[in-house]
Amino acid sequence: MSDVAFLVYLPMKERRADNSFDGNTNIGAFVIADALTRSGISVEYCSPETAHKFRVVLVSMTSTLDAFAFYRAVALLPIWQREKRPFTVIAGGFGMQNPIPVRNFIDFAAFGRAHEWVSSICDCVLGGGVPSHPSVMNLPDIAPVVISQSESLYPHEVNGRKEAFTGCPLKCKFCHYSWARRPVGCGDSYVQNMTTGQTPELTWHGMMKVGHKMGRVRVAIDGFSQRLRYAYGKRISNADIVAGVEHAGSFEGTTVLLIYNICNMPTETHVDREELYDTFKKCKPKNRVVCVLQHTPFRPSPATPMQWEPAALFPDWSKLREGVICETESLRVVHSWTLETPYSHLISLVAERATIDSDKLFHAIVFSPALKKGLSAARLATAQKHFDISQYVREYNIDEPPPTWWLQSYTPTNVLQSIAHKMRRGAA
């Protein structure tokens, strides 16, 4: 048996017989496992209940919401309590941005791309040492860390995929991906081949360069109005939206555009929303185009120029699920059926802006029946009644430390502050 295992903490019905997970849904974990194997460290898989069979347990978090699933899986198990734990836990992944809610169940948090140095960290732990690395936090203490970058792409093919490029040069001011990863390589889209599935994902301007039928693609506009998009770094004009839809409809057959849009942006109003609807109504594609708007509430992501901005729980976009915006013979524009509720938005904010004062709320979100089940409105009302949620939604002074003050990226905090000041003035 290996000394090292990846923890699979999803429900048993979602695991494979050997407790492993699907490499198509967690390609990052497979890259780390591949890197360790190539360095001579074999890796197995374990469940929360079998973790004690290994000396080092690795936890991969693909999003900040994974903190809730991990917490639910281990928090009540005696063997996972810090004073009883016979194994060392190292957690990382793109979703490792705020380790505070799970700090008592992991020993080290790794930030950024770790494939170049993860083997040395594991070797150190297996040898009885305490790893020291600028991108590794020794918990439960919270101390400054730097999001690790990679000067080159991962050179090996994993699960039939090979990385083409990483990072994004567009630098939209709300995007953690763009500000946490320095652009490396090149390509027509910000999405690398390693993580794209059957539905390709393109930038809006990249989509307009495609010279063949696209079928079904993911694109993003991220802002209801031209004013909002330009203020927050998404330089897509209303004319660009019309041109993009009509370009998609220039090919025979039906093209489906899954359009990501960030809603509840700071300074957003009803006028901004109506502007987007009116813009779509101006589109006259030659062939049929179906536009599905996936509205995602704005989150003040760590290490971005917008990490100090307020977050709005309302409007409640889930009430517009599958609502039709416009319908003609050649164009159908609808709201997605998977739009978030204000409560689901709140818990994501709790995960990203958590402090030690969040422990009781985080535990309640995971285990309290009143917050686990029932209508979103009732769960939100319960959370507001019993907890102060102001720290998760409030606007922060740009000159004060942000909620995740310890997190440093390749862009210094003082530069982010300068961008944030200019942005607020421009968005006002």
Helix (H, G, I), strand (E, B) or coil at 160: coil
pLDDT of residue 387: 98
pLDDT of residue 204: 95
pLDDT of residue 319: 96
- Residue intervals of the chain classified under CATH 3.40.50 are 4-146
Contact 411, 418 (CB under 8 A): no
pLDDT of residue 199: 74
pLDDT of residue 201: 84
Give dist(CA 266, CA 106) in Å, integer. 35
Give dist(CA 362, CA 359) in Å, integer. 5
Report the run of H or E that residue 325 belongs to, with start and end: strand 324-327
Report the run of H or E that residue 38 belongs to, with start and end: helix 27-38
CB atoms within 10 A of CB 153: 16
Give dist(CA 402, CA 407) in Å, integer. 9
Q: Within the chain, what is the greatest distance between any pair of CA atoms? A: 68
Domain 4-146 matching CATH 2.30.30: the answer reads no
Contact partners, residue 410, CB within 8 Å, separation at least 6: 147, 149, 182
Integer-rounded Cα Rg, in Å, for the chain is 22
Give dist(CA 20, CA 45) in Å, integer. 5
Per-residue burial over 163-201, b if 16 or more Cβ lie within 10 Å, else e, is: bbbbbbeeebbbbbebbbbbebeeeebbbbebbeeeebb
Below-70 pLDDT ranges, the chain: 1, 11-25, 186-198
Contact 19, 103 (CB under 8 A): no
Q: At 145, which amino acid appears?
A: V
pLDDT of residue 19: 67
Strand partners, 6: 45, 58
Place of tokens 């590794």: 136
Surface-to-core class of residue 154, CB atoms within 10 Å of its CB (0-12 exposed, 13-18 middle, 19+ buried): buried
pLDDT of residue 194: 52
Q: At 3, which amino acid appears?
A: D
Q: At 304, which amino acid appears?
A: T
**Angle (deg, nearest 10), helices 66-74 and 342-353:** 80
pLDDT of residue 165: 86
pLDDT of residue 237: 98
Strand partners, 108: 90, 138
- Kindly state the percentage of the chain with pLDDT values over 90: 85
Contact 126, 390 (CB under 8 A): no
pLDDT of residue 163: 85
pLDDT of residue 135: 98
